[in-house]
Amino acid sequence: MSASSASPSTTAAAAAIAIATKPGLPSLVASAITRNPPPSTQSLTINGLSEYSQRQKFPSTPTPAEDGLLQLSHPVYGLPRPLVANFESLGIKSIYPWQKSCLLGPGLLNGPKNLIYKAPTGGGKSLVADVLMLKRVLADRDAKALLVLPYVALVQEKVRWLRNAVSGISREAITGPITEFERKIWRKRADEDTVRVVGFFGGNKVRHTWADFDIGVCTLEKANALINGAFDDGSIAKLKVVVLDELHMIDDDHRGYLLELMATKLLCLDDDDVQIVGMSATLTNVNLLASWLRAHNFETSYRPVPINEHIVYDGSIYNARTTSQILKGASQLGMPSQSSQGCPAALGAIATSTTKELHDPVLNAVVALTNETARAGYGVLVFAGSRSACESDALIISRVLPLLTEMDLQVQEKRADLLGDLRSLPGGLDPTFEQTIPRGVAFHHAGLTTEERDLVASAYDSGSIKVCVATCSLAAGINLPARRVILHNVRMGRELVGPAMLRQMRGRAGRKGKDEVGETYLCCRRKDVEEVEELIRAELPQVASCMGTNKQRIQRALLEAIAVRLATSRESLDDYIRNTLLYRSTPIEEIDALVEKSLQELRGRSFIVADHFSNFEATQLGKAIVISSLDLEDGLFIHNEMKKALRAFVMDGEMHILYTFTPAQQMGIAINWKVFANEMENLDDSGMRVLGFLGLKPTEINRMMRGGTMKASSAADEAVIRVYHRFYLALQLRDLCHEVPVHRVAQKYETPRGIVQTLAQTCQGFAAGMIKFCEHMGWGVMAAVLDHFADRLKAGARSDLLELAKITFVKSRTARIFWDNGLRSVAAVANADLRELVPILMQAQPNKLRLEAKDESKYMEKLLKKAEVIAESANRLWQIEMQQQFDEE
């Protein structure tokens, strides 16, 4: 067949295979795994592979035919039919018996009774909270709900799910039509009849209030800020449900106290009309939390997909339940033995590799176990100890897996599409991805950009990627289950993983609807044998309050209560403290002394004042710190910095402004003093004046570049170091605001591109707080300047592109190309022909985009769909602008 007569599908297939067969590192052969079947079971093979435990069959879950209460359409749940239909479209045809029992707990469905429950990862625990939350929101058009999650990725994922759950639902059809009088008084928005789900994280939604959403999906920090605002303006009565997911994080020593703060304030409400729903897979003392929150308590150990857990040690595979016997035998003999008395027989063995790349027995086991599962057609999650370990593991695993043949064109085309999508990102295609993805392997860690992580997660979830190697943060940060989970050693970085993190990782095994069973393999070294035994047997730690571990936390709790006027007298503050979890674990005498000392320190720092009747009131500074969600120490630091800046602000350049909204807290980014010195040399006169005004010395920067060190023996020394650190970060923000792509900034500062992107997002959040801080301190001009630069940072663009950057998919480079092609306003884009947008979008692709590697018509179709989304977004923005102009007239 001639090239001219080839069909588009044949052309695409050929292109896909051409990408996949690009020369890379030589292939390796994974070690063979021999398995010892149970005595009564004949060993089976499929396609030459052993019929190992992941193919075993287990009894199915009871069906709704046996119990009508397992149908969400049952009248007892009182859910609107459109919601039940949406649940079914999302794959929820019925519920589990434990979910039924939990939902039917006293006062949950038809009252404000609080609920605390514990269920394993993958056991369906989120659905219970979703049902309770959506029921309350749909029953009352004024009702507001908050769903609190610890990580941004989880917030984004949950927003998408909830929007699908409420899609197309008319609140008026459920609650009845509103009167004409009501319509004139308060019906002011076109989407009043819908349930609006809005995500709150980082620097987004700076000005949003209760009126702008029905369900707010928030990070801990954003949820606490929203609740404070609602107490302050009196709108807290609209809040009907608060869901605290991952409730075990109340024990987290960095952010956990925020959960306690939120719950404590809600418990102080007189009407008890807010339903608090808390859940976790790793809680131990549920009874304590239930008592604290005055909640119904429910626990289950049910998992729809059972997990088989294994330990791999010196090439032998054991059942994790017999670990103690295994390790006892190993310690007695100095090595594992299958024949020693009291030491159970191994379930299998992994042959020693003769290749130098797989000489390490732990790595060899990881590769062999991954190879076995991927070749059988199942998904594998491998947890590695660091970002570099993720990439090296992915690379070596890919070398033992085959390239797909012409018989696998559909999967190979999907992998080729993934490569094309990654290549079309501003940073281009990571060279490691180029070698691993054609063989179905990818990695996922914080060094990747959000766009890269999303593409990898989506490809893995769809099955085109079979192996995902990730850091442990993936275990808690996103929902990607696998048939087999493999832990590459028990150390993540230098530290041994904790029992809770171990359960989070192991809990990713098993995918409901795709797998009959899940498997976990913990591959460990000889030197870690005793610690592995302790870790396997370790109980989860008892959850406790973190409020008393740092004096700032109890001070912040008191300051927030005073600032929002929840409690202003010593008696009411005592009542407030009695609602904390801390009160249930600390002697009352200690708490009274701690509160008294904290109030004195708050007064000494001018955060609060007391009148003649000993009633407290937040000062302007104290309220500004609460409203801006700053830590107390950071608030003082910022206040002092801003007071100096207002006396002599350098306004003929950008560096002083950028420095001002650089986070006061440490970002975990080390200063590269050589890069710092080079950037200092290129500063203009305005930048050098900022350097001098802040007290930064060029001689000190040059000394550090030559290997010097900075002393940090006092608070003053630490403050100086913080100023140097903030200015270094401000240099990176300057480049981002000047439309330098994230990957270029990452190269320049020798920082992973994902870390640079996270810096930008963190700075947006900090800038949002700084804007509020300045507004409440009466520094309106400074607030306006910071607001403008926050928009520039979010857009990654100069001032002239800020309007265009509001459009979906139009940021930085794309916005500049739209501008250069004459589309310089939202209205211009909204009225443009789609065929006009497609060639402009082609210009916006990186120069290295290899169009010949994909079918051209398919690629143009993808650009056309992107153009449709852009046009739709621009139309929405244009309509809003016209409505605002009409309202002003």
Residue 89 confidence class, pLDDT cut points 50, 70, 90: very high
* 307, β-bridge pairs: 518
Strands 307-313 vs 239-244: parallel, antiparallel or unpaired: unpaired
Percent of the chain exceeding pLDDT 70 equals 83
The pLDDT score that the predictor gives to residue 323 is 56
pLDDT in tens, 758-772: 888 888 888 888 888
* Candidate from 374-378, 607-611, 812-816 with smallest mean pLDDT: 812-816
Residue 14 confidence class, pLDDT cut points 50, 70, 90: very low
Q: Which has the closest alpha carbon to 381: 472, 496, 515?
A: 472
- Give the H/E segment covering residue 356: none
Residue 335 confidence class, pLDDT cut points 50, 70, 90: very low
The pLDDT score that the predictor gives to residue 440 is 94
- Mean of the pLDDT values across residues 504-518? 75
* Mean pLDDT value across the chain: 82
The pLDDT score that the predictor gives to residue 87 is 94
What is the distance between the alpha carbons of residues 365 and 381, in angstroms, rounded to a whole number? 14
- 339 compared with 508, residue with greater pLDDT: 508
Percent of the chain exceeding pLDDT 90 equals 38
Residue 747 confidence class, pLDDT cut points 50, 70, 90: very high
CA distances from 191 to 207, 726, 774 (A): 19, 42, 33
- 154 compared with 298, residue with greater pLDDT: 298
What is the distance between the alpha carbons of residues 382 and 391, in angstroms, rounded to a whole number? 11
Alpha helices in 351-439, H assignment, sequence order: 361-375, 387-398, 409-423, 431-436
For the chain, what is the radius of gyration of the CA atoms?
29
Is the pTM higher than 0.85? The answer reads no
Q: Which residues contact 623 (CB under 8 A, 6 or more apart)?
A: 563, 776
The pLDDT score that the predictor gives to residue 203 is 59
pLDDT in tens, 142-194: 899 999 998 888 898 899 999 999 999 987 777 666 555 445 444 445 556 78
Residue 666 confidence class, pLDDT cut points 50, 70, 90: low
Q: Answer for the pair 367, 397: CB distance below 8 angstroms, yes or no.
A: yes
Q: Is the pLDDT of residue 46 over 60?
A: no
CA distances from 341 to 317, 347, 724, 869 (A): 18, 16, 63, 68
Q: Is the pLDDT of residue 887 over 50?
A: yes
Among all chains, which residue has been given the structure tokens 């209760």?
Answer: 210
Q: Which residues contact 454 (CB under 8 A, 6 or more apart)?
A: none
Helix-then-strand count for the chain, H and E = 36, 22
- Mean of the pLDDT values across residues 465-491? 82
Residue 407 confidence class, pLDDT cut points 50, 70, 90: low
Domains, the chain, in order of start with CATH, read 68-299 (3.40.50.300), 305-537 (3.40.50.300), 551-568+585-620 (no CATH), 632-796 (1.10.3380), 812-888 (no CATH)
Q: Is the pLDDT of residue 519 over 50?
A: yes
- The CA angle 431-429-372, to the nearest 5 degrees, is 60
The pLDDT score that the predictor gives to residue 344 is 58
* Candidate from 1-5, 271-275, 667-671, 757-761 with smallest mean pLDDT: 1-5
The pLDDT score that the predictor gives to residue 12 is 43
What is the distance between the alpha carbons of residues 472 and 501, in angstroms, rounded to a whole number? 8
The pLDDT score that the predictor gives to residue 294 is 93
The pLDDT score that the predictor gives to residue 798 is 78
Among all chains, which residue has been given the structure tokens 């409400």?
Answer: 269
Q: Is the pLDDT of residue 131 over 80?
A: yes
What is the distance between the alpha carbons of residues 36 and 347, in angstroms, rounded to a whole number? 5
Q: Which has the closest alpha carbon to 850: 10, 3, 22, 4?
A: 22
What is the distance between the alpha carbons of residues 494 and 293, in angstroms, rounded to a whole number? 37
* Candidate from 51-60, 219-228, 241-250 with smallest mean pLDDT: 51-60
Query: Helix, strand, or coil here: 309?
Result: strand
Strands 49-50 vs 45-46: parallel, antiparallel or unpaired: antiparallel
State the first-to-last Cα distance of the chain, in angstroms, to the nearest integer.
68
Q: Is the pLDDT of residue 889 over 50?
A: yes
* 308, β-bridge pairs: 519
